[in-house]
Chain A
Amino acid sequence: MSTTTLKPTPPAACKDRSQERQKEMIAAHFQRLARAPETGQKNVYTFVPGNLTELLLAFDALPVLPEINALQSAMRGKSREYIALAEKLGHSEDVCSYVKCDVGMLRSGNVGPTGERLPRPDLLLLSYTGCFTFMKWFEILRQEYGTPTVMLHVPYQGGGKPTIEMRDYVVAQLKKKVIPALEKATGKQYDEDRLKELLARSAKAEEDLTWVLSTAKHKPSPIDAYFGAVYYVGPIFSSFRGTQDAVDYYRMLREEVAERLEKGLGPVTPDGQATKERYRLVVEGPPNWTSFREFWQMFASEGAVVVNSTYTKVGGVYDDGFRHDPDHPLETLANYCLGCYTNLDLPTRVDKLVGYVQDYEADGLLINSVKSCDSFSAGQLAILRAVEERTGKPGGFIESDLVDPRFFSAANIKNRVESFLQMIEQKRGGGA
């Protein structure tokens, strides 16, 4: 006889209107993908950092972002079995769990978050930006699907800034490689006027998002710029930048946050309206997706609000003034690719974090170091020390993973978060 312990169903998470709207948009996108075999609409698999959504949309191609699929699988509790399957197929336990989750999902029927099958790629656009693993990931997918693949090599900002030569190299690849590959995959001609229209809409949405994220400078902050903001950046970093949907969503989000700001309200957390802002934090690194809600609650229950984060810059960085420029369509796409957060060198990342801590009057920096992502994680301990030295604010360090639940130890993480918050208290009290 077996006994089963039934876990009580947690109460439904509280969500604000924009979050509901964002969820509807993403669901609609996955439904379009599921129907693609019937509608004949082409799709292009590509990656989030520095993505070329506007260019794909100019060809009426639907973007598919495997990182998004993986994190959605994790939030639906499917990543454990997908990863186990990939490891059974020979993928090492040492490597990126996004890749393994994606491979496992593919081998399990490629069923997306809405429960419908995702289409085979018509093109793999290997936008090689800010992450070495991307190259391996699409080599693996190319062997799985036998699909045409086009590489866009985006140089790393090793010298701390993008150069004209880097931009020209990216633009030349767009012209000579990427655009012809898209024309071939979709059967459509490149239409620069259409691209310009899309880019103009991108700039509008980017303006509103940047304003929303900047409201965290207020006390109390009306938003949580990490846990809450991953929902905010969803549309702009995935398949919607350049669409009227995105413009409308970010306008709605701005109005919603403006209203909270006017009323002096804090962010909406899974357990409802935050009532007291006790700690203001900056967070570096991606969140854990397998226990996302539990992870957020560890902070929310302590009155800790994240006022800025680097993960919300992973698709592209806007807080230094970048907006897509419709007058220079390919150059602006190149600059966007070059500027995404994981394409910045470590001293620049330190400068950004110091600026976040100081400008947002944060109490400290917390790093969530994920096992899967060397691009983020390698060097984070040096970053932590440098930011502590320059700001005089305490730093905390926790470890988890993106989508492998084996590497989320709730008790250990909670313990470390609490210790970090105690350290802040001690610092406030003038302790050593």
Chain B
Amino acid sequence: MIAPQHSKDPAPRGNGSSGGGACSSGCGCGSGASSTGSKEAPANLATLVEKAEELARDWRLDAVRAWKARTKGIAVGYLPVWAPRELLHAMGVLPVGVMGAGDDLEIIRGDAYYQSYICHLPRSVIELGLNGALDCLDGMLFPATCDVIRNLSGVWKLSFRGKLSFYLDVPQDFERELGGQFLRQTLLELAHELETRGARKLDMGALARSIRLFDENRALVRQLYTLRRDEPWRVLTSELYPVLRAGLVQPVEEHNELLAAYLDLVRSATERRPLDQARVVVSGSFCEQPPLSLLKTLERGGCSIVDDDFVQITRWITSDVDQPHNTGKDALDWLVNSFLSDSTDSPVRYCAKGRKGDDLVRRVRASRAEGVLLCAPSFCDPALLDQPMLQDALDAAKIPWTNFKYAENTGQFQVIREQAGTFADSIKLWSEA
């Protein structure tokens, strides 16, 4: 395959709108208003949030099954934290975020796979695999997030023979000719694997169009985060979170519509009024996701979340991929370059420059937060090994913080509510801010 040069790119760069929500990538994914009927956006906020929550709790992947039945396409799951959704989309593959089953599923067989000192996510994912919930997926990507997810790729191979289990190694060197070359090669290998499983051949023009759709997605999410930062009473995290999670099982075109509709509705939600809450950043929940009830507990405890790292795939790349300064021989290079130089700071990414915690302090300042909730899943190595460094940075910056742990199926919140409430009260009563 000869990759098109930028100047000959059939899909010119810039202003990446896909237009009207219909799939413009020509991928045959069946997405977009005309094929799904999803243009009928919910007329009110409650209905929209209800729909988002339903999708967020769709661990049986009913939405994915429906998509496959409609399009006859293939779907591939990915675990946290980052996956090249753009590449999958360009090849006509539905990328499906697999983030466990939260508090909705009793783990029976999954516990037989993992010792008590391993986090909850892999046992939940295995349970989903064993109970057939993931049967509709034609493969799974296991990103280089930590050793548990790394080894889950092997457990998958041992347990589900014949299914694609792809370990997605990502570089910890961020130079184009070193880590960039490695990532490009890895993505081409992935594309080859997908092609052998029935995906369309990777075409750089299609990839450019897919990148623009995801750029639109990222832009909408950024707008929501900005609005929440400025008016947190308008964008409740307990709503935003399921709205983001819905995108894990939806085609990006539909998720873009959902995001846009939610943005419109909260902007015009005049009945919402400022609350006397403490402004906090939540950090540490980038992989195993907290149960929705935990976020509601934090809000009821007096905290307005103004920045977080939930569902981080939606914000891993922090700006548009398709930008004039993002050069390379083809769209795959744009994606690689963005991963190298425009990824968010994360515990799973080597901190090559500066001090750990500087980015968290910057986020606190940027969001005008009054404190930080270090909220990590139990036994999460990346988050918990980072914590002492983050705490030092916060102390040095005189930013109040507290920490607690959760599991995706945590069901008792009283202690957390008291802790968050006390933290919020202490900020309100004694903070210098």
A96 / chain B contacts, CB cutoff of 8 Å = 381, 385
Q: How many angstroms between the C-alpha atoms of A90 and B383 in the bound complex?
A: 13
B152 at the interface (CB under 8 A from A): yes
Using CB atoms, name the residue of chain A closest to B118.
Answer: A378
B157 interface residue (CB < 8 Å to A): yes
Chain B hits for A176, CB < 8 A: 175, 178
With an 8 A cutoff between CB atoms, is A27 at the interface? Answer: no
B151–A375 touching, CB < 8 Å: yes
Bound CA span A156–B151, Å: 10
Q: Which of B118, B152, B384 contacts A92 (CB 8 A)?
A: B384
Complex CA gap A344/B386 in Å reads 26
| B185 interface contact, C-beta 8 A | yes
User: Would A155 and B169 be within 8 Å (CB), given that A345-B154, A375-B147 are in contact?
Assistant: yes
Q: In the complex, what residue of chain A is closest to B117 when comparing beta carbons? A: A371
Q: Are A382 and B147 in contact (CB under 8 A)?
A: no
Complex formed: what's the CA distance from A381 to B116 in Å? 12
* A379 close to B386 (CB less than 8 A): no
- Contact at B350–A349, with CB atoms within 8 Å? no
* A133-B154 in contact (CB<8A): no
The reply to whether A91 and B158 contact each other, CB–CB distance below 8 Å, is no
Does A139 touch B at the CB level, under 8 Å? Answer: yes
Contact A135 B172 (CB under 8 A): yes
Task: Tell me which residues from 85 to 110 in chain A have a Cβ below 8 Å from any Cβ of chain B.
Answer: 89-92, 94-96, 99
Interface residues on chain B, size class: 35 or more
Contact A131 B147 (CB under 8 A): yes
Q: With a CB–CB cut-off of 8 A, which chain B residues contact A137?
A: 385
Q: Does A335 lie at the interface of the complex (its beta carbon under 8 Å from any beta carbon of B)?
A: no
Main secondary structure of the interface of A (DSSP, over half): helix
| CB of B81, distance to nearest CB on chain A (Å) | 12
Q: Which of B117, B150, B153, B384 contacts A132 (CB 8 A)?
A: B150
Q: Is B71's CB within 8 Å of the partner chain A?
A: no
- Contact B181–A169 (Cβ < 8 Å): yes
B351 within 8 A of A: yes
B153 and A143: CB pair below 8 A? no
Contact assessment for A136 and B347 in the assembled complex, using a CB-CB cutoff below 8 Å? yes
CB distance from B376 to the nearest CB of A (A): 8
| A187 interfacial by beta-carbon distance below 8 Å | no
On whether the beta carbons of A151 and B350 are closer than 8 Å, the reply is yes
Q: B172–A136 contact, CB under 8 A?
A: no
**A159 within 8 A of partner (CB):** yes
Cα A151 to Cα B174 with chains together (Å): 10
- Taking the complex as formed, is B146 at the interface, i.e. its CB lies under 8 A from any CB of chain A? yes
Q: Among B114, B177, B392, which residue has its beta carbon within 8 angstroms of that of A378?
A: B114
Q: How far is the CA of A321 from the CA of B382 in the complex (A)?
A: 35
B389: contacting residue among A94, A140, A399, CB under 8 A: A140
Contacts of B113 in A (CB 8 A): 379, 381-382
Q: Are B153 and A139 in contact (CB under 8 A)?
A: no
Contacting residues, chain A, for B169 (C-beta < 8 A):
155-156, 158
| Central interface residue in A94, A126, A347, A375, by most chain B CB within 10 Å | A94
Residues 351-389 of chain B, each 1 if its beta carbon lies under 8 Å from chain A, else 0: 110011000000000000000000000111110111111
B10 to chain A, nearest CB (A): 29
Q: Which one of A133, A155, A381 lies within 8 Å of B381 (CB-CB)?
A: A133
- Any B CB within 8 A of the CB of A377: yes
Asked if A92 and B387 make an inter-chain contact with CB atoms under 8 angstroms apart, the answer reads yes
Scan A20-56; emit 1 where CB is below 8 A from any B CB, else 0.
Answer: 0000000000000000000000000000000000000
CB-CB under 8 A for A378 and B148, given A139-B356, A345-B167: yes
Q: Are A156 and B150 in contact (CB under 8 A)?
A: yes
Tell whether, in the assembled complex, residue B166 and residue A381 are in contact, meaning their CB atoms are under 8 Å apart: no
Chain A: which residue is nearest B395 at the CB level?
Answer: A90
Residue B112, interface by CB 8 Å: yes
Instruction: Give the residue among B112, B113, B117 with the most A Cβ atoms within 10 A.
Output: B117
> How far, in angstroms, from A133 to B391 measured CA to CA in the complex?
19
A128 is an interface residue with CB less than 8 A from chain B: yes
Does A210 have its Cβ within 8 Å of any Cβ on chain B?
no
- A139 and B358 CA atoms in complex are apart in Å by 13
In the complex, whether A332 has a CB less than 8 A from a CB of chain B is no
The 10 A-B residue pairs with the shortest CB-CB distance, nearest first, are A346-B154, A158-B167, A136-B385, A379-B151, A374-B147, A90-B388, A92-B384, A153-B172, A378-B151, A375-B147
Known: A94-B379, A377-B117, A381-B114. 20 other contacts (CB 8 A): A90-B391, A92-B387, A132-B381, A133-B381, A139-B350, A143-B356, A151-B352, A153-B350, A156-B144, A158-B153, A159-B167, A173-B173, A176-B175, A176-B178, A345-B157, A346-B154, A347-B157, A371-B115, A378-B122, A380-B115
| 12 sample A-B contacts, Cβ–Cβ < 8 Å, listed by A number | A92-B385, A94-B117, A94-B380, A133-B147, A151-B352, A169-B178, A346-B155, A375-B147, A377-B118, A378-B122, A379-B155, A382-B155
